Amino acid sequence: MFKVSHYTIADFHNSSSDSYVAVVTSDNTAKKYGIIKRFPFDATCQRSSAVVEEIATGKRFIFVKGSPEAVSAISTTTPPDLKHKTLSYSADGYYCIGFGVKELNPSIPIDFNSREQVENGVEFEGLALFKNELKPETKNMIEELYIADIDIRIITGDNVLTAIHVCHELEMKMKNKVAVVDVDEHTGSTVFVSVDDVKKSDV
């Protein structure tokens, strides 16, 4: 990702004298950003983040990435069609990652023991889409397992619509109609969503 975005990163894990754990430099503008604190990915809150300082100006920001739902939950505002877009992209086989950012007041000390407080109130910036292409030999391997009369099951931590898309690409044996369990965002009640009814994205 750094190569594509034309940034480079230098880590300082073994140095106690630096005020940053890493420095990110733009290859195009030569701007430097120091990473002050990293909050690692947490499966419970489904996100990770980093507190960053623009070295030339001293401005500080918190950048958050994670599942679109997790980033949306701590954002001040989110696009009204975010859930629909996420479902559509996932049904097309994309992995969706949400991003948020908030500028921090440099005169107020950061309480790194309160992750929720630091991350809460970000502006939702958008989605990044990733797609893992299937290896050429995967489909043949699935066919061989079926020939051997081996029952195949998929266990995944990814979005279920992305997993279903992969199953279709592999021509795996599936029911004619597939539904996923969801929660209505307005009523909080459990609903069933037909995969066939999820409108495909334009990507």
Choose the final residue of a domain: 76, 104, 131: 131
Whether residues 31 and 97 fall in one domain? yes
Whether residues 65 and 158 fall in one domain? no
Whether residues 81 and 125 fall in one domain? yes
Whether residues 118 and 169 fall in one domain? no
- In which domain, by residue range, is 177 found? 136-199
pLDDT band at 13 (very low <50, low <70, confident <90, very high): low
- Of residues 30 and 9, more confidently modeled: 9
**Residues 150-201: pLDDT tens digits?**
988 888 878 888 888 888 888 888 776 676 777 776 787 887 777 766 644 4
Q: How many Å apart are CA 18 and CA 62, to the nearest integer?
A: 19
Strand partners, 10: 23
Number of domains in the chain: 2
Whether residues 108 and 156 fall in one domain? no
Choose the final residue of a domain: 106, 131, 156: 131
**Residues 66-119: pLDDT tens digits?**
999 999 999 999 999 998 899 889 988 999 999 999 999 988 888 888 899 999
CATH number for the domain spanning 51: value is: 3.40.1110.10
Whether residues 13 and 103 fall in one domain? yes
| Cα–Cα nearest to 75, from 122, 117, 119 | 122
Whether residues 104 and 146 fall in one domain? no
Global model pTM greater than 0.85: no
